[in-house]
Structure 1
Amino acid sequence: MHIFWENIWKFPKFLISVFIGFFLTAAYPFFQLSKNRKIFYSLSLMIILFAGFIVITLKEMLGYT
């Protein structure tokens, strides 16, 4: 039973590592694009506009005003 609890305590570290690895792998192309200033600003603007669109859409759909 002691080994079972050791494995349970290791799981959160593993889960965090998986999420960080997934984020870094998925975001790597954007990090490469951000080396060029013009592309970086365009990409940042697109991300902000997309996030704003999602927030406004969810507020309207859920009735939060």
Structure 2
Amino acid sequence: MSNFWVNLYKFPRFLIAVFLGFFLTTFQPIFKLLKSKKRITTFSIIITLTIRVCYKIIAKMIDIE
């Protein structure tokens, strides 16, 4: 039974490592692309437009002004 508790105590560290690994492998290609100023500008515009469109859609869905 003590082995169960040892494994249970290790689980949060494992969970953090999994999430950290996921984000590092996901965003590493994006960081490599952002080495030139032209790509940074394009990426910023795309992200800004995506956030604005999502905000407008959600605002219309819940009927806020």
Q: Same fold judged by TM-score > 0.5?
A: yes
Identity %, equivalent residues: 40
Task: Find the counterpart in structure 2 of residue 27 from structure 1.
Answer: 27
Structure 2: runs of 5 or more not aligned = none
Q: For residue 20 of structure 1, report the CA deviation from its aligned partner.
A: 1.2
The 5-angstrom pairing of residues 43-58 of structure 1 reads 43-58=43-58
**CA–CA distance in 2 between the matches of 1:45 and 1:25?**
23
Deviations 1:21-54, CA, capped at 9 Å, x for gaps: 1111111111111100110121022112212222
Runs (5+) with no aligned partner, structure 1 = none
Over the aligned positions, Cα root-mean-square deviation in angstroms equals 1.6
What is the TM-score normalised by the length of structure 2?
0.80
TM-score by length of 1: 0.80
Larger radius of gyration: 2
